[in-house]
Structure 1
C-alpha cells in the first residue's frame, strides 16, 4: 500500500484530460500521497468556493493550519477531517466514531469503514461502552439501528438482554431487524416468535420471513451441490444495481450482460471451482420469488441478497442498506458449504463497501475494479462558482469510497484505456503506484459469442417491419437515396444521453437523411428516471414534426434479440443501410459498442472514456464529441456521410478485432489469473482459516503510527 509520505511520479497530462488545463483535484490527491513538500496555502479567491475549501480540508497535510471556511459548513469540515484521518490510518477512537454517526449518511459511511480498526485498536470493552452510551443518548431509529449493527459486526454486547428484547419488539423495522441480528449473534433462542412482534405492526413480509429463517437456520434454502464444484477457486462477483438478465430496463445495463457471460466463462475456466453472481432483491421481488440461490448454468449460481426496500434499490439509496447488506452477504457466503475464496466488486458505492466488509468477516480476498469516475470530472463539474453543492458532496463521497475499496482490496484492476493503459488510473489514484506489482493490470472486457435465439425470428421481423415503415415515410418523393437507419441501444438514463441525441439529430438536420431507432427503457412507466428521459425526448422533437415521424422508440430487448436485430440491419441482403451511434457522455468501456462492431455495423462512439482503447477514428469506426447537442450533431452528420465502401471497410476491421480480441472467454482467463494469485490458500491448497472478526485490513501507514525498530517500519 502506498504510504502518504512517499514519492509518486504522476503524469501531469494523461489521456482523458485536455493538455495544459490544470486539475487542482488530481494535484491535491497526488500531493497528499507524495508528501514531498508542503504546498503553500495560496491566496483565497474573493468569492467563496466550496469545491476549493473541501478539497483543501480533505487533503491538506497534517499539521498545516486549517483555513477559515466561507462556503463550507462545520459538518463539511468535520467529515473532511474524518476522511483525512481514515485515509492516513489514524482511526478515531470508538467514542468519536459513535458521536459522528449523527452527522449524516456520508459520515456514517466513513465510520462504518473505520469501525473494525477502531475496535481492534481500542478493545471490545471500550467499544461496547461507546455503543451503549450512544444508544442511551438517542431515540432516532436509524441511529439506534446503526449502533446495533456496529455492535453485531464486532460481537459486542452493549446492552443487557431485557433491553435488547425491548428493541427487538420496536415498531420501527430497521431497529427491530438490527436487534434481531444482534440477539441471534449471542443467543438465537432469544429471537421473537414467528407471530406478529408488536400489536399494530404489519404482518411479516417476505423480507422479514427470510430474515427470521436466516437467523434460525444454519444454511440458506439452497446451496451449490458440492459434487458439481470442481477443485480450485470459488469466486463471487457482484452486481447490486438492476437485474442481471434484463439489460436496458431501469438501472440494468451492460454490466448485467457482462457478468452473466463472464460468470459462465469463468465457470468453464481451468482452476475455477465455481462462480456466484451476487445481486439484490427488494421486497416485491422476494414476495414473487423467495428463493435466494439459483443455478444459472454449469457451476454458475446467482445469489440474491435481500434488501428491505419497496422497490429496486437505487445508487443513492445503498447507504441506507449498507450494514444490512454486509450482514446478509456475510451470512449467506458463510453458509454455502465451502468458503468463497475471492469476491470481485465493481463500482465505488456503499454496496461495494458493504461487500468488502463481508469479505473481511468471512476471510475472502477482495478484487476491486477501479475507474477514475468521478475523479476525472471533479474540477470540470465543481470548480466553477454556482455548481451544485450536494452533487459535489456526493462525488467526494464516491471518491472516498473508491479509496477505501483500493485500501481494502488484495488486488486492484482497471478498465482498459487508450494509449498508456493504466496511466489515467495512476493519475487519479496515486496511492496505487506504491502497491506491490507495480501499475495495476487492465484486462480488456469482452462479449460472449453470438448465438441465434430460438424464438427471436417473429419478434425481430416485427421490429424490422416498424423500421421499414419509418424508412418509407422518410424516403418520400425527390429523395436521392435510401435513408440511413441510425440505431442506439442502452438504458434510458441521463448518462446515456438519448435526449441529447434526439435533439442533436433534429437540430442538425440529420433527420432528413435518416431514421433514428432508440432501444431501451422498461415497458412500463414506473421508473421516474425513465419517465423524465421520455419527456425530454418528446420535447427535443416538439418543434420538428417531420423528425418525430422518423423517430422510433422501442423498449429494452433481450441481449440476444438486440444482437440479432443488429445483424439483420448490418446484412446488405436485407436492404437496410444502417449504422450505430453511442451518444453517452462517456463509456468506461462500452459493451454495447463492442456488440454493434461485432455485428458488422459502422459505429460512432464517444471520444471520452474507454472506447478509444479499441476504436481508432477513421480505421474501424468514428470517435465523436458527445459533450453537447451541437458537437453530437456534427458527429451524426459525419457518420451519415461516410461512403458505403469506406463504411464497409471500417466495419470489417472492427468486426475482426472484436472477434479476435474482446471475448468473455479471454476476459475470464485474464481475471482467473488474478483470482488465483490472491485466493487465501495454504501451501497444501486448502482454504486458509478466516481471520478473527474485527481483525485488521490493509491500510496506509501514517508517520505517527510507525514503530521504529532498527530502521524498520511496521503498522
Structure 2
C-alpha cells in the first residue's frame, strides 16, 4: 500500500472463510474490527462495506461503536438470486433446497439491515439505471431523501509492469502447455488451439460447471482448450468441493475433454493480470478469449481487467457487463441462462477470425483506459465521503 494507506487484516476464526459460518463469527469480527479502528492513526471518518453478509454487518457494528459514518454498496443480488432460485429459474447452488433457502433468506436479511443502517448508499452503475434495485428495496425509495445515494463509476487500478513479469509469463506458459490436463496443464494437442480463459471464485453463481458443460456440448473440447482459474489450492469450502465434483463428473465421460481443460487454483490478482497479458501477447499460440459465464455480474471488474490486458472478452447479458460492453464492438455478450444457448455462442467465438477478435480487443482496452480508471472512482467516492460530514445527519 502507499504511504497514506494502511492494509489491516482482521483476525477471524478458522471457519469464518465459509459464508455459512458467518453468524457465529460475527461477534468476533465486530470485536476485532472495533479494536483495529481504535488504533492511533487508523480512526476512520467513514467505513465502507461492499458485500451483503455477516462480515459486513460486523463491520457496520464496529463503525457505529467507533463513531464513524457507514457506507454500503447495495445491489439487487441477494433478493434477485433468491427470487430466481426458488421460482425454479436457473440452477440451485446446492443439492439441499432447505439449506439454500436458509442461506438466501439470511443474505436478504443482511442486505436489508445494512441498507437501513448506512449513512451513505452506493449503487453500482448499470444499464437499467437502478430501476431493478428499487424493486428489491422499495423502502429505499421512501428513504432516498433522508440519506445520500451515489453511483460512482467502477474502475480498476492501472497495471504497472515490473521486473520479472516476462519470466513469470513464461512460467505460466510452461505450466499451461506442459501437462496432460487437470492442474498440471493442458495436453500437447491443445497447443496452438483457441483458448478460453475464465477467472473467478468457484461458486454456482459463477457457473464454471455450466461453461464446461456448454464447451463439451458444442464439441469444442476437440478443437479448443479451456483454462479455469479459481478456488482453493486445497479442499476448499463445501461449495467449492461441490463445484469441483460437478466439473469432474462432466469430464469423466470424455478423455479428450480432460486433456484439453486445466483447472488452476486462485492466483493473486497481479499474477492474474500478468497471465492475461502473457496470453494476449503470446506468439505461436491460439488466440485467447476471456469468458465470464456467470449467471450475472453486478459489474464485472475481472472482465475489465481482462479487457485492459488486451484480451477479447465475453460476459453475461444480465447484470452490469452490458453497461460497458457493446456486443461485437468492444466485447461479446453471452446468454448464460441456458447451457445450449451458451454452447452456441461459444461455438461462434471459436471460429471468429483472429483479426476480428484483435479489433474487438483493441476497442475493449480503449474503453477501460478512457472510462474506467480507479482514480475516477476514488475521486467521486472521496467527494461523497466528504459531503457526509458536512451535509448529512448521522443515522
Task: Give the TM-score range, shorter chain.
Answer: 0.7 to 0.9
What's the offset of the Cα at 1:362?
1.9
DSSP-derived class of the 2:158 partner: coil
Deviating more after overlay: 455-464 vs 612-621: 455-464
- Please say if 1:632 is aligned against 2:348: no
- Please say if 1:473 is aligned against 2:182: no
What's the offset of the Cα at 1:403?
1.9
Q: How does 1:573-592 map to 2 (within 5 A)?
A: 573=283, 575-592=285-302
DSSP-derived class of the 2:326 partner: coil
Cα RMSD, aligned residues only: 2.7
Partner residue in 1 for 2:382: 672
- Please say if 1:458 is aligned against 2:162: no
What's the offset of the Cα at 1:681?
9.5
Partner residue in 2 for 1:448: 157
DSSP-derived class of the 1:378 partner: helix
What's the offset of the Cα at 1:500?
1.9
Structure 2: gaps of 5 or more residues: 179-185
Partner residue in 2 for 1:352: 56
Q: For 1:517-572, what per-residue CA distance to the aligned partner results, in whole angstroms no more than 9, with x for missing partners? A: 12223333354443333222221111121121111222222222221221222226
Larger radius of gyration: 1
- Tell me the TM-score normalized by structure 1: 0.50
CA distance 1:527–1:409, change in 2 (3 Å): closer
- Assess if the C-alpha contact under 8 Å between 2:71 and 2:122 holds in 1: yes
- Please say if 1:617 is aligned against 2:322: no
1:424 to 121, 132, 140: 132
- Assess if the C-alpha contact under 8 Å between 1:445 and 1:662 holds in 2: yes
Distance 2:14 2:174 in 1: 39
Q: How does 1:325-474 map to 2 (within 5 A)?
A: 325-337=29-41, 339-383=43-87, 388-418=97-127, 420-434=128-142, 435-436=144-145, 440-468=149-177, 470=186, 472-474=188-190
Q: For 1:636-666, what per-residue CA distance to the aligned partner results, in whole angstroms no more than 9, with x for missing partners? A: 1121122223222211111100011111111
- Assess if the C-alpha contact under 8 Å between 2:78 and 2:111 holds in 1: no
- Assess if the C-alpha contact under 8 Å between 2:121 and 2:148 holds in 1: no
CA distance 1:439–1:630, change in 2 (3 Å): farther
What's the offset of the Cα at 1:592?
1.2
Distance 1:648 1:513 in 2: 20
Partner residue in 2 for 1:661: 371
- Assess if the C-alpha contact under 8 Å between 2:292 and 2:314 holds in 1: yes
Distance 2:56 2:273 in 1: 30
- Assess if the C-alpha contact under 8 Å between 2:316 and 2:336 holds in 1: yes
Distance 1:600 1:669 in 2: 26
Distance 1:506 1:333 in 2: 50
- Tell me the TM-score normalized by structure 2: 0.88
- Assess if the C-alpha contact under 8 Å between 2:16 and 2:25 holds in 1: no
- Assess if the C-alpha contact under 8 Å between 1:360 and 1:697 holds in 2: no
CA distance 1:390–1:468, change in 2 (3 Å): closer
Distance 2:312 2:333 in 1: 11
DSSP-derived class of the 2:153 partner: coil
- Please say if 1:516 is aligned against 2:226: yes
Partner residue in 1 for 2:10: 305
Structure 1: gaps of 5 or more residues: 1-295, 476-481, 683-695, 699-715
Q: How does 1:105-116 map to 2 (within 5 A)?
A: none
- Assess if the C-alpha contact under 8 Å between 2:308 and 2:364 holds in 1: yes
- Assess if the C-alpha contact under 8 Å between 1:422 and 1:441 holds in 2: no
Distance 1:458 1:549 in 2: 26
Distance 1:400 1:525 in 2: 30
CA distance 1:603–1:338, change in 2 (3 Å): closer
